[in-house]
Amino acid sequence: MKPLKIAALACALAAPLTVAAAPHASAYPVKNPVLVKNALYQAGPLPTTTCDDLPAEPVTPTEARTYINEALRCLESTWGRHLKKAGLPYEPVKVRYVTSLPKNYCGSEDGETIESSEVWYCDWDRTLSFKIGKSWLLGPPDLDLFNTTAVMYGYHVQKLAGLYDASEDLRAGSKAEHLEQRRRMYQQVECLGAAFMKSVWPLPGKTARDWKRVESSYHGDTAEYGKAASIKQWVKAGFRTADPASCNTWVAPSSKVS
């Protein structure tokens, strides 16, 4: 579960805990070149684009689908160009809208109420599944749904760049180490989402105050996702530079992904 954002429960398939003997564990510093020296980090800042066709924040499920589809069009345009520039494979993410997920779909569990709004990325079929509940259709207009979509697309970027699979291949000498690996993945997608947001900023009708509200919406500390303060720092780094190189959580000391 993604407890730090009010609007969405964001789930991705969790890598199984593989505990190895200490000499074979993947303690910091991580040495896998796919993770620490990925071509994703070498291609410079994301291309500057616009999302001028993004509609007003939705108040109905139909409007929400239109809104998400337009946000994804912007994401595909930006990330497609960046991945190709980096010499990495690119393919559009698959998208579907559901009222509930099949049992045990991609290792995720569905929420329990119609009010819950949820989105899952499944690396098995490279699909984003959106469950649009009332919580995405209530409250004042803000950037939460747009940012949530951008962050979840970050899992697809990780998959295409090989980061996702490389992280799953890591061994862990302890549960604490396994959780740190999870935090490095999660905090990276938050940073990638913020980098994209910066690349399309300013959005029509939005101000710096709107983005500050996004940054301040992270709260609560968990062992799986990390401390809110750590996540905020990665979000700020991504938004400051619009450069995936700023999102290389795999070379950061453990204290930066706590």
DSSP assignment letter at 114: T
CA 5 – CA 26 distance, rounded (Å): 30
Q: How many other CB atoms sit within 10 Å of the CB of residue 222?
A: 15
Q: Can you say whether residue 144 is alpha, beta or left, with left for phi > 0 and alpha for psi between -120 and 50 degrees?
A: alpha
The tens-digit pLDDT sequence of the chain (258 residues) is 233 333 333 444 333 333 343 333 456 788 899 999 999 999 999 999 999 999 988 999 999 999 999 999 999 999 999 999 999 999 999 999 998 877 778 876 665 555 678 999 999 999 999 999 888 887 666 899 999 999 999 999 999 999 999 999 998 889 999 999 999 999 999 999 999 999 999 998 899 999 999 998 888 899 999 999 999 999 999 999 999 999 999 999 999 999
The reply to whether the predicted model has a pTM over 0.75 is yes
Please give the structure tokens belonging to residue 227.
Answer: 């401390």
Q: Which pLDDT does position 119 carry in this prediction?
A: 93
What distances in angstroms separate CA 65 from CA 30, 72, 142, 222, one per listed residue? 39, 10, 16, 31
| Distance, CA of 179 to CA of 252 (rounded, Å) | 15
